[in-house]
Amino acid sequence: MLVVMNVQMENQLVAAEAAAYHMIQQHTLGFAQVIQRDMQNLSTIVDIEEDGNSFEFVAQTSTTDTTKRTVEYRRVYKGAKDDHGVSTPLYQIERYVNGAIDGSSYDALSYWKIAAQNEDGNAATDPSDVSQIQVEFVATTPANMRISERIEIQDTRWDSTFRPMMLRDLLL
């Protein structure tokens, strides 16, 4: 009886961990789709802060409206995750359109980088030199999930480099 109960508890734990991981993946993919849409429709870089906390650009934000709007991604500190004595800062990326919040990422990103790059893939020093945008982020699970003795899931990573076709609009 105890063996059966133990197996049943293990199965429930694995199912709960799989559901949590699936939820994180869904949030990550949803936010990645927003980024992809924004980057495909990006026309002008407005401002790139050196510390990586903000990235501002102009883009068409709707498939039915050709009006270009100012979009800004802001990295916001949300707390920390403590795993075995190691503290990892957690962030959320808030998306603003014309100054009003219009969505956000999962609130447990342990890493976020958005970099404007020149044609050679180096950091652009001036918004007019930007020809591609690299976006990377890591969504962290609430706790490390052990799927088996050898497999432990800690995070979901996403990385892409975009070459926006409309990037050559005049600077603001």
User: Is residue 171 very low, low, confident or very high in pLDDT (cuts 50, 70, 90)?
Assistant: very low
Residue 97 lies in a domain: yes
For 126, the domain range is 2-162
User: pLDDT digits over 1-30, tens only?
Assistant: 778 777 777 777 666 666 767 777 787 888
Q: State how far the alpha carbon of 83 is from the alpha carbons of 86, 106, 157, in Å.
A: 5, 19, 18
Residue type, 95: R
Please state, rounded to an integer, the average pLDDT across all residues of the chain: 82
Residue 169 lies in a domain: no
Inside any domain, residue 73: yes
Count of the separate structural domains present in the chain: 1
- Structure confidence at residue 77 (pLDDT): 94
Would you say 71 and 43 are in contact if contact means Cβ atoms under 8 Å apart?
no
Q: Which residues contact 76 (CB under 8 A, 6 or more apart)?
A: 91, 92, 93, 94
Tens-place pLDDT, residues 89-109: 999 999 999 999 999 998 889
Residue 126's contacts (CB-CB under 8 Å, 6 or more residues apart) are none
pLDDT at residue 172 is higher than 90? no
Furthest C-alpha separation in the chain: 73
Residue 49 has pLDDT above 70, yes or no: no
